[in-house]
Structure 1
Amino acid sequence: MVTFFQDEWRRVTRAVRTLDVQTMVVLTLAAFVVILHFNVGSRSVFLRHLADGFDPSWRTLWSWGWWFGTKGILGFVVPLLVLYVVFGRSARECGIGLGNWRLATGIAALYLPLVAVGTWILSDGSAFQGQYPHFRGAAFNWQFFLIYEALFLFYWMGWEYLWRGFVLFGTIHKLGLYAIFVQAVPFAVLHVDKPWPEAMLSIVGGIALGALCWRCRSFWIAVPIHAAQMMLLDFWCTLRARSDVDGWGWSALMEALSALGG
């Protein structure tokens, strides 16, 4: 029996020695980050344990800031430090370099106007107006809106870097192009509570975004591609809430934009 366990232990240690440490750490840490964010970074944690130290009129905003900020720190700052400091990777190897910025800029220039038009049309629906911005106070206070959106952008940096930066660029040296598909799996799983068409599309979207970041040699392009949809919906729905405008023609757009001065 002793010999049996000794043999098994030798097999285990031989197998462990074949593992790439960086790939093992990246994939394991990514799982920890998701669990930690949902448990420590939740708005309910802030409201239960931290909110008493803030002005009541700002507490809801800062609860969103807690959710967004912890995502940015856990998804962007911590993973980047692991690759850059612990493993000594360059900015390019970490996925935060400029990469093929001409290609990325061209794609953004084509994509963002389409998203702006599409989200303007979608914002005419009552279902979207009831959902965006998630923090309703931002719709009627420009100071709140700007702070909320700045924190929201930091959230998207954390969300995108965790998958399209840390997992993709942190494992591609070992997994090759299969890293594109590996990073898409947890991304899709995190959409499981969304309507099923959106959940299914997240599989395609995760692979496409991973491939795009690999081609551009940088994760940065994924931030405007993904964040613009939500942030523009927030903007259009805020203008509609302030101006009470219906429709999506040119006159409706001009009337909505007049709310910028209100």
Structure 2
Amino acid sequence: MIDRLRGEWQGFRAAVAGLSPNARRAAVVLLAATVLVLFHLQVGGRRFYTGTLDNVLGFEDPAFGSWAWWFGMQGVLGFVVPALILVVGFRWTPRQAGLGLGDWKLATGIALAYLPLVIVGTWVLSDGAAFQMQYPHFYGAKESWTIFLAYEALFLFYWIGWEYLWRGFVLFGTAPALGAPLAIVVQTVPFAILHAQKPAAEAYLSVLGGLALGALVWRCRSFWIAVPIHAAQMLALDLFATLRARTGATGIGLDALMEALRGLG
């Protein structure tokens, strides 16, 4: 039996040794991404912060601290750690790791074309009572612009971590071994699975969104384009919901917008 197990182990080692360097790096990337997601779900959550860490960050409002913890952990585990693996561990250049500017002219043009759609769409959505109750997720952000800006800055760090983990680390980390088309599919799978608890329409649309964002990032050769596409939606929705809460503005017309904007004062 021992000889049998030894033979299986040697066969496994031979199979691993026979992998190309790109294939070994892809395996490291996929395993690391899995561990990072599990760690964030277990240790980076708001309940863990309030229940186990007892407001270790020392914020006056522990509820805000829990959001800061969640956003910050996603930024560290999704962006900082994966970037170090590729740049320091694999000794890749920032461009190889998807961290460069890439085709910034194309990316800027797409972002500028997309933002007006986001602004109009989120303004309309913010008129719904359900959205006003849901956004911003931390209700205290509606009561103070200082807190709102701090909350949104942390949320931006969250989006950088969220997008880099899939559209940077996994996409660029597996493409040399799998080829770009398959790497785009691979990064879509866990991204969509993590939307399982979302409403059905959003969950299924995440498959299409993951493929589209992956293709766009690969075309631009930079993950940065994905950040404003995701972050701008949440920032605009948070802002409009906050303005409506502060002013009581209802409706989607120009008069309602002018009334809501008074909340900036």
TM range (shorter): over 0.9
Structure 1 residue corresponding to 2:171, chosen from 165, 168, 171: 168
The amino acid that maps onto 2:17 is R
The amino acid that maps onto 1:31 is T
Give the Cα–Cα distance (whole angstroms) in 2 for the partners of residues 2 and 46 of structure 1.
46
Please say if 1:104 is aligned against 2:94.
Answer: no
Match of residue 236 from structure 2: 232
Trace 1:152-231 onto structure 2 (pairs within 5 A). 152-177=155-180, 178-231=182-235
Give the Cα–Cα distance (whole angstroms) in 1 for the partners of residues 168 and 37 of structure 2.
15
Q: In structure 1, list runs of 5 or more residues that go unmatched.
A: none
Give the Cα–Cα distance (whole angstroms) in 2 for the partners of residues 52 and 167 of structure 1.
32
Instruction: Write the deviation string for residues 20-51 of structure 1: whole angstroms up to 9, x where unpaired.
Output: 32111110010011110011111112212231
Query: 168-177 vs 47-56, which deviates more?
Result: 47-56
Please say if 1:50 is aligned against 2:50.
Answer: no
Instruction: Write the deviation string for residues 88-129 of structure 1: whole angstroms up to 9, x where unpaired.
Output: 000100101000001100100100110010000000000100
Match of residue 63 from structure 2: 60
3-state SS of paired residue (1:246): coil
Please say if 1:146 is aligned against 2:154.
Answer: no
Give the Cα–Cα distance (whole angstroms) in 1 for the partners of residues 43 and 144 of structure 2.
28
Query: 199-208 vs 45-54, which deviates more?
Result: 45-54
Question: Structure 1 residues 13, 63: CA separation in 2 closer, same or farther (over 3 Å shift)?
Answer: same
| Deviant stretches of 4+, over 6 Å | none
Match of residue 16 from structure 2: 16
Please say if 1:260 is aligned against 2:236.
Answer: no
Deviation at 1:200, TM superposition (A): 0.4
The amino acid that maps onto 2:231 is A
Instruction: Write the deviation string for residues 153-196 of structure 1: whole angstroms up to 9, x where unpaired.
Output: 00000000000000001111111121000000000000000111
Question: Structure 1 residues 65, 55: CA separation in 2 closer, same or farther (over 3 Å shift)?
Answer: closer
Deviation at 1:18, TM superposition (A): 2.6
The amino acid that maps onto 2:234 is M
Please say if 1:86 is aligned against 2:89.
Answer: yes
Give the Cα–Cα distance (whole angstroms) in 2 for the partners of residues 225 and 130 of structure 1.
23
Give the Cα–Cα distance (whole angstroms) in 2 for the partners of residues 18 and 117 of structure 1.
54
Trace 1:104-123 onto structure 2 (pairs within 5 A). 104-123=107-126
The amino acid that maps onto 1:17 is A
3-state SS of paired residue (2:224): coil
The amino acid that maps onto 2:14 is R
The amino acid that maps onto 1:120 is W
Deviation at 1:246, TM superposition (A): 0.3
Structure 2 length as normaliser, TM-score? 0.95
Instruction: Write the deviation string for residues 48-80 of structure 1: whole angstroms up to 9, x where unpaired.
Output: 223166354x22111100000000000000000
Q: In structure 2, list runs of 5 or more residues that go unmatched.
A: none
Match of residue 30 from structure 1: 33
Structure 1 length as normaliser, TM-score? 0.96
The amino acid that maps onto 2:16 is V
Give the Cα–Cα distance (whole angstroms) in 2 for the partners of residues 53 and 99 of structure 1.
36
3-state SS of paired residue (1:88): coil
The amino acid that maps onto 1:69 is G
Percent sequence identity over aligned pairs: 58
Give the Cα–Cα distance (whole angstroms) in 1 for the partners of residues 236 and 29 of structure 2.
32
Deviation at 1:2, TM superposition (A): 5.7
Deviation at 1:5, TM superposition (A): 3.9
Give the Cα–Cα distance (whole angstroms) in 2 for the partners of residues 5 and 153 of structure 1.
50
